Structure 1
């Protein structure tokens, strides 16, 4: 699976920054764009920072229930993009994601969101069967289906590349990133879901992020 396009380069650089920041401060950075916002406070101009965040969304999950950003309002979550008939990286990704799921299973502050990019075949019932075969039950790990516009429209917000490509295995081309999202919908880390070492780093960073909410 190819890794391409400028957003990926940006993510790679930010991952390096994230690792350095984690080691030195035990606080994860906020990835993505940011811009200063001026506001008046007690007659004085104060400058705040507006960080990149995941926009509002609406999908159907594996139980044919609508899920939105509110579904994840009180949780950090790990997001990825896949399709159930994927013959290449998806099985590896979700074997690794299952390890993360098992570690945090039952933790109400941790959720998972897998977006299917096969918007024709991966209906809620197909996603339900897929989840059950993985050994996933309940609402902690959501498998999302939607229209082509909604799924492909939100992938750039996660800084992930995905597209239909007849030449690619299974007819789709996508990246294997796991994205760590905080309770404010900011991206706090990006990890190659096919690499065990990076999945271990993800779990370590999740522990760090959860500690932020203990303060």
Structure 2
């Protein structure tokens, strides 16, 4: 990266804000009895006038529009995930540490929901210079997954790193670590409105078990909204 220090500082600030907000959100909103998931991240109170009365709406952090290319050279944008529940992560194909564990766990999510048309998986490479479309294609073929269900995407490096911050995930070049990149192993659960609904440690089976169960809750919520 051209400015690894700035990215690191920005990501640290965002991560701290996310942790504090998430902790407060879980303590205030998580309610197993009603089977709902909290909306994580920053929020803003916005006032509007309706029939002469002041109404306060809560505006939640939303993943912004994006544009990447997947292993089939297909454009992947916010339209690809429109109206769907999706799980996202950040990795690179030559990762010597946590990525193999992450992908073995993401495969469990894939197997659990591969037949559900309302679920998509989205994995971003943080090493776009090496991880070309052809490399990602070979990687996906080794995992033996359907490409319309699990998109491995690449694109402009800075756009990918900026997107990682939108998901509150750490990712940066780091010549001081093996592999040359450092990143978190988190899986992020996103709803049909592009709100963050869960954060899970992608190297831990128990936490991925929780993700798989939380996805059931979110899909039920989605069905309820469509009625």
Q: Shorter-chain-normalised TM-score: which range?
A: over 0.9
- For the pair 1:100 / 2:116, whether they are aligned, the reply is no
* Paired position in structure 2 for 1:153: 162
| Cα distance in 2 between the residues matched to 1:89 and 1:157 | 21
Aligned residue runs from structure 1 range 7-156, under 5 A = 7-12=14-19, 14=22, 18=26, 21-156=30-165
Aligned residue runs from structure 1 range 170-181, under 5 A = 170-181=179-190
Distance 1:22 1:87, change over 3 A: farther
* Paired position in structure 2 for 1:5: 12
TM-score, with structure 1 as normaliser: 0.93
Kindly state the Cα deviation for residue 119 of structure 1 after the two structures are TM-superposed: 1.4
| Cα distance in 2 between the residues matched to 1:59 and 1:91 | 23
Secondary structure at 2:179 match in 1: helix
Deviations 1:134-179 (A, max 9, x none): 1112301111100111101111100011100111121000000000
More divergent stretch after superposition (192-201 vs 21-30): 21-30
- On the 8 A contact 1:18/1:189 being kept in 2, the answer is no
Secondary structure at 1:128 match in 2: helix
TM-score, with structure 2 as normaliser: 0.88
Kindly state the Cα deviation for residue 44 of structure 1 after the two structures are TM-superposed: 1.6
- On the 8 A contact 1:61/1:144 being kept in 2, the answer is yes
* Paired position in structure 2 for 1:166: 175
Long gaps (5+) in structure 2: 1-10
Query: RMSD across aligned C-alpha pairs, in angstroms?
Result: 1.8
Deviations 1:61-106 (A, max 9, x none): 1111111001000210000000000000000000000001001002
